[in-house]
Amino acid sequence: MTLQFSLGTAAPETVDAACVLVGVYEHGMLTSAAARVDSATGGLIKRQVESGDISGKAGSTTVLFAPAGVTARRVLVVGLGSQKSFDAARFQKICIEAARAVSKLPLGDAVSYLTDVDVPGHDSAWRVRVAALASDYASYRYTATFKPRDKSKQPELGSLAFAAGEEAQGGLEQARAIAEGVRFARDLANLPPNICNPSYIAGQAQAFTEGRDKTSCKVLDEVEMERLGFGSLLAVGRGSVNKPRLIVLEYKGGHEGDKPYAFVGKGVTFDSGGISLKPGAGMEEMKFDMGGAAGVLGAFVAAVKMGLKLNLVCVVPSVENMPDGDSYRPSDVLTSLSGLTIEVLNTDAEGRLILCDALTYTAQTFQPHTLIDAATLTGACVIALGKHATGLMSKHDDLAAELLAAGEETLDRAWRLPLWDDYQAQLDSGFADVANIGGKSAGAITAACFLSRFTDGQRWAHLDIAGTAWDEGRKGLATGRPVALLAQWLIDRAG
């Protein structure tokens, strides 16, 4: 079920809803909405605070069922933590935890007064947007048809209203569009690789653009790519029966003749490592190796849904990397679309090999204003930054600053790593123009250095989302990152 959002201005003690959400800081300090509910219920919340049943700890939740004095059937009291240190990241956290708690209750609607909470430096529209996106994220369910459905008759949360006036309407509209993009990305990435292969991704992209104004989708198959000279990309896909595809979407929301912004996303639908086979433990997570493709497609969906007044191109090189008698090998030398030759030292460093041809194609075909790629590219980035920050690399300080600012605004944050020429020597090859790996040290950076050789003359940035694209573990799901970051960057460009 897709969560529906709206705005509301009714008082928390009189609103007719299955549940209202109010906040309490540590040390028993009530927000204005909580104070109104407390007064209407004869001091119920304060008594719970005094008894220790409500702590105010950030993210904690307490349900008050059918309290006398208010119209709502339940009150969910959400801990906000210390008021002195309350900030944007905490606000997002409490919105996620509140939505998780509400989603577990047998109710179909709720009204949140958490958007009344003051967040330093942020207005009502921002609070509504963050709350809506956090709630949509927390209430997401993997509902593929081959997963047994919960047969319980318990109602599911279907609508959530936020306490805010018309000044927040713009934030709500953005949240609806970005949430749709995030769900598109998560649904795609969560699918098993026997379903989500290169042809399937192409079909989903075509289905989105079909009959939709200002959008188009073109798909290049392996025959067309062979004719054009995609020697690097095609080599990676040689070992699989699922043939490669290059998916090209266009959105013409800006003026005719304006240079488009361009996204390129790594779409390895399953990465076994090829001949350089990965260890078996954890290999099932390699279905998420198309997280970059999912992310840029989700950002494309969000941009179209918002009707942004700009031109946008989204290019997805999609392959499956498998071991086979026809697989490419360590020591093979490939000729890329750009003409540069590549010595393959490791077939598990395949993402950069499909991205380099896609970046060349995008630059040559569209001459974009700015080119950004997103990829689950290196385990080294996970070691460097963990699961919280996306790795950002660019030689363009202004572009890096724009992306970092978009990440801070959406809390889909990135951290910049250097892309100095000092690292390029690690990619030297005695048999080709460049090697596809640079050794043990600085792996995330040398991967970006490799890509930089195919983006000469471009205003380009690379996002390594290997740590942020999915949650680890047997039940880990795709996160939909960096849809929010890229969508915000496009909003900023559209003015």
Q: Among candidates 41, 34, 154, 15, which has minimal Cα distance to 98?
A: 34
- How far is the C-alpha of 392 from the C-alpha of 270, rounded, in Å? 24
Per-residue model confidence (pLDDT) at position 21: 98
Residues 436-459: what's their mean pLDDT? 97
Least confident range from 103-117, 133-147, 188-202, 226-240: namely: 133-147
Give me the catalytic one of 278, 395, 416, 459. 278
What pLDDT does residue 489 have? 98
Average pLDDT over residues 457-474: 96
Q: Over the stretch 46-73, which tens digit does the pLDDT of each residue have?
A: 999 999 999 999 999 999 999 999 999 9
Q: Say what the pLDDT of residue 2 is.
A: 85
Q: pLDDT over 90 for what percent of the chain?
A: 95
332 pLDDT more than 80: yes
Q: Average pLDDT of 90-110?
A: 96
Give the mean pLDDT of the chain. 96
Tens-digit pLDDT profile for residues 5-29: 999 999 999 999 999 999 999 999 9
- 207-219: pLDDT as tens digits: 999 999 999 999 9
Q: What is the pLDDT of residue 130?
A: 98
- Is residue 352 flagged as an active site residue? yes
What separation in angstroms does the CA of 341 have from each of 147, 186, 191?
A: 45, 35, 35
Is the pLDDT assigned to residue 153 strictly greater than 70? no
pTM of the model: 0.97
Provide the pLDDT for residue 148. Answer: 61
Q: How much is the average pLDDT of 140-162? A: 78
pLDDT, one tens digit per residue, over 88-98 is 999 999 999 99
Confidence of residue 474 (pLDDT cuts 50, 70, 90): confident
Query: Has residue 363 got a pLDDT over 70?
Result: yes
pLDDT tens for 369-392 read 999 999 999 999 999 999 999 999
Catalytic residue from among 127, 243, 352, 413 = 352
Note the pLDDT of residue 145: 62
Question: Residue 152 — pLDDT band, cuts 50, 70, 90?
Answer: low
